[in-house]
Amino acid sequence: MSKTVDDSSSGSEGVETDPRLLSSAPQASLARSLVSGEDAEIFRALADAMPHLAWMAEPDGTIFWYNQRWYDYTGTSPGEMKQKGWQSALEARDLPRVVTNFKAAITAGTCWEDAFNLRRHDGVLRWHVSHTEPLCNEAGEIVCWYGTNTDITEEHTELTSLRESEALLRDLLENAPVMIWIMDADGGCSYLSRTWYEFTGQTPESGLGSGWMEVLHPEDRLSMRNRFAEAVKEEKAFRVEYRLRRKSDGTYRWMMDSAVPRYGPDGTFQGFIGSVTDIADRKESEDLLRENKDELVSRVEARTAELRSLTLELTRAERRERKRLARILHDEIQQLLAAIKMHADVALRQEGNPEILKKVLKLSDDAISACRNLAVGLSPPVMYEADLAGALKWLGSHLEEQHGLEVTVSAGLLPTELPEEIRLLVFEITRELLFNVVKHSGVDQAEVRVGFENQSLWVEVEDKGKGCNEEALTRPGRESFGLFSIRERLAEFNGTMESHSRPGEGCRVRAVLPATLPKSIRLSKDTVPVIPLKSLPTQKRRGILRLLLAEDQQIMRQGLAEMLSSQQDIEVVAQAADEEEAVDLALHHKPDVVVIDINMIGTSQLDSTRIIREGLPRVRVVGLSMHDNAQDLPPAETIGADAVLSKDAPVSRLLALVRGNTV
């Protein structure tokens, strides 16, 4: 911007001339009008008081006046400046540029501004910004130039430091081993580092704004768009993982993106700055570690399953051995002893020393009873022959008889059919828990509850005895081995066990296991079969009773035959060793009475008693069993018999049933 002045006055008589005028050119008259005359003192005071180095130049750029601050700063005099000129105060490296730019502005008649170093009187270079404007007359002609030099050393130092910091920051951003990005407060990306462009192949034109999302995996874009929008709304640091496409091979690699919010000096939210790190290798390592862990867990589970299977197999082996021993006792020893008893009974009725024979009978009874107890202890037949509720009630009665423990059994709605393995497991668990009550509770009463719900079978044993700490029930040890064994056996069937106990408050243990049953489960109220005392049809025939004897044990069969044949009114017309033979002989001989071992019924897939009754409607059927407890014997009508009797019962009872008398 130029200034306009009236340069018509040229009078200078009596006016003091400023000694700092360096030129006597015609234009000096204008300068004298500014620095001489009655206002000269005011002008000089203002020029010297201003905080700048001030100067004036002729239209061609030749400087003809400096203020006092110039001389004070440079340590020069008007004579030195006239001789050396202002260029002597500039640093050598700045001089060519400054002179060129200054002359160009003078030639063009435009304002000029530049920054450069000016040498101070002590030789120190300080940064100054120089500003010059032309002064024109009314005709628009430049009559002189006036300019200032302002010290900007501190500002220049700060600006230089800021620029260096920015350069360093940019260098760090561009060369960091991770990808850097900056997001504005509106969610648009305003900066992506060089590493981003190199990895993705994007350019600033395609990556800034929201374009960077185009190189994310298609399945991750929507979730990341929502996550970043949520972060902008919350103004909180966040960390996410997504897949980013690599330019070199087009594959997507997993990245971790971490960001923190940016705030301005006034605390306003300005966006985020974040870094993107390639974690694909780490993810692969984690996946491999997870696979190895899963494999290890699988192996441990497999090994655990093997151990459980082994435990189950051991239990099954023990069960088979018990059953084998029980069969030996039942089929051999008990049968032999029963035969001895029958022979002794016959001998007692006929001849011999009654006292000795009585002792033989007594010993035989004791031997049979001992064998029966052993057989029941090893493998109670009720486990295989009765339903679950009946088996548990038999168990309660047996424990009361053997150990004085009064057991109350409550059975809910149970499936009419259960797999044998599950039924046996529930029986064995209940027996083990009741034995614990006998050994540890200090009371003589216990409750057993069994039910079925949600396709699972459960059994619960509770006592009001001494109880113990929960830890004692779960801590491995000698006393808890029974519960440990139960847990292991339940686990084989995907079952569980819960226990609750406190000192002085008794103990309650509940076992639950899924029941593998058909989809159509018929539920019924289980009851324990009871053998009623009943009157048999009265024998109306006179003369000899014709009898068929069916017994698979030869010794027992011979003993029974001899005993029955010794009766004057009984004739054994035939003897059968198996079920098929019994049916054939019965239909052939048409006996009045059939005496049959109930264990033979159904062994050949025949319903022998039904077939015999259909062919011989008036025949009387008496079943024999080695069990002596009514609860252990099946109801007579369920096997097609008129009565069921224990083999070691008094001979008189068997004879009474054969003859049709009431028992």
172-217 pLDDT, tens digit each: 777 777 899 999 999 999 999 899 999 999 999 999 999 999 999 9
Q: Give pLDDT, residue 534.
A: 33
CB 606 within 8 A of CB 631: no
pLDDT at 36: 55
Are 5 and 122 in contact, with CB atoms under 8 Å apart?
no
Q: Which of 38-52, 53-67, 484-498 has the highest mean pLDDT?
A: 53-67
Q: Does this model's pTM top 0.85?
A: no
| Residue found by looking up tokens 């023990």 in the block | 318
Contact 170, 34 (CB under 8 A): no
Residue 97's CB: how many other CB atoms inside 10 A? 12
Helix (H, G, I), strand (E, B) or coil at 450: strand
CA nearest to 238, candidates 255, 258, 212: 258
Q: Is the pLDDT of residue 525 over 50?
A: no
> Could you give the count of Cα atoms lying within 13 Å of 552 in the half-sphere of its Cβ?
15
Residues 6+ apart with CB under 8 A from 471: none
| Residue/partner pairs of 75-78 with CB below 8 Å, 24 or more apart | 75/120, 75/121, 75/122, 78/19, 78/20, 78/22
Torsion, Cα 154 155 156 161, to 10 degrees, reads: 90
**Of 13-27, 47-61, 189-203, 356-370, which gets the smallest average pLDDT?**
13-27
* pLDDT confidence bin for 12, thresholds 50/70/90: very low
| Three-class DSSP category at 397 | helix
Query: Model confidence over 534-563: pLDDT tens digits?
Result: 333 334 446 799 999 999 988 888 889 988
Quick one: pLDDT band at residue 521, thresholds 50, 70, 90?
very low
> Which two tokens mark 539?
């024998």
Query: How much is the pLDDT for 519?
Result: 40
Helix (H) or strand (E) holding 39: none
CB atoms near residue 126 (< 10 Å) = 14
CA 374, CA 622: separation in Å to the nearest integer? 26
Helix, strand, or coil (residue 562): helix
Q: Using an 8 Å Cβ cutoff, are 308 and 491 in contact?
A: yes
- pLDDT at position 469: 75
Query: Which residue type is seen at 287?
Result: D
Beta bridge partners of 65: 56
Alpha-carbon 516 to chain mean position: 27
Residue 651, SS3 per DSSP: helix
- Tokens 């991750």: give the residue: 220
442 dihedral zone (left: phi>0; alpha: psi -120 to 50; beta): left
Burial class (CB in 10 A: 0-12, 13-18, 19+), 53: buried
- pLDDT of residue 597 exceeding 80, the answer is yes
At 80 the pLDDT is 85
Pair 320, 312: CB distance under 8 Å:
no
Q: Which of 418-422, 469-473, 582-586 has the highest mean pLDDT?
A: 582-586
Is residue 34 predicted with pLDDT exceeding 60? no
**Unique residue bearing structure tokens 């022979």:** 343
Interval 287-346: pLDDT, tens:
888 888 888 888 888 777 777 776 776 777 677 777 777 776 666 677 767 777 776 676
Q: What is the pLDDT of residue 508?
A: 92
pLDDT above 90 (res 219): yes
